[in-house]
Each structure stands twice: as structure tokens, then as C-alpha cells.
Amino acid sequence: MFRLVLCVLLGLATFKLALAEPQNPTVPITRLPIMVQCTASEIVDRMVEDYEEVPFFESQGSWEIPDGQTLSGRVVMYLSPKTNTYTLVIEFEEDIKCVVISGRDLQPWYPNKTVL
């Protein structure tokens, strides 16, 4: 379990670096128009409970909406070592949560297939 937690944290740190603003302005950036599913907090809470997911980390996050405005809110990642599922949630308002991404087959990532 410790290895899973460590690998997920390292992966998220790498993901954050990938999302950072580029230092070289000549590199083109492609903006992907993704759809985020938002609904009442109770529905998202029930979904993560059904998948036996528990909060793994929380942070404050920012994201840009299509009109160029930047929004901020609480970001929580839920995961389940039992079902190997995960869900990344943004709390847009107190009673509304948005599922950014969810998935299955969660497993640690080992560089070069080497166990840490």
C-alpha cells in the first residue's frame, strides 16, 4: 500500500510539472475542450462510496473555462485500493461537485518496471 501511495504521489507531481506554464513561449500549446460532469454533491459522494473510494489527497486548484476566465476551488482525488478505481473531483461550489476524470485499473507506476 505504501508503494501505491508513493507512486501515485510521484505521478501527480510529474503531472503537475507537465501542466505548468512552459518556459519557452515558442512552444505551441493545444487547448483541449473537455467536458466536466457537474452535479449535486450528494450524487458524487454516493458514486465514490459505491466504488469504495476514499479521499487520497486534497488541494486548491485552478482551471480555465472556455471564455478565458480562471476559476479556483477545492480538488480531491478519491481512490480505492480494493476496486482499483479513482475519481478526481473539483468542488466548484459548496453544494456542487464536478468529476474531472474517473478510471479503473489503478496501479503503481514503476520506471523501467523496477520495483521501488
Dihedral pair phi/psi, residue 34, rounded to 5°: -100, 155
- Domain assignment of residue 116, yes or no: no
- Domain assignment of residue 114, yes or no: no
pLDDT tens-digit profile of 2-33?
454 434 444 544 545 445 555 556 788 787 77
- Domain assignment of residue 40, yes or no: yes
Residue owning grid cell 480505492: 80
Amino acid making up residue 7: C
- Domain assignment of residue 27, yes or no: no
pLDDT tens-digit profile of 30-61?
877 778 889 999 999 999 999 999 999 999 99
CB 76 within 8 A of CB 89: yes
pLDDT tens-digit profile of 58-106?
999 988 888 888 888 999 999 999 999 999 999 977 899 999 999 999 8
- Domain assignment of residue 25, yes or no: no
Q: Please give the residue range of the domain that contains residue 77.
A: 2-19+34-109
- Domain assignment of residue 24, yes or no: no
Residue owning grid cell 512552444: 27
* 4 sits in which H/E element: helix 2-19
For 28-46, give the DSSP string.
Answer: ---------EEEEHHHHHH
- Domain assignment of residue 13, yes or no: yes
Q: Is 110 helix (H, G, I), strand (E, B) or coil?
A: coil
* 17 sits in which H/E element: helix 2-19
- Domain assignment of residue 99, yes or no: yes
Task: Quote the number of domains for the chain.
Answer: 1
Residue 116: alpha-carbon gap to chain centroid: 23
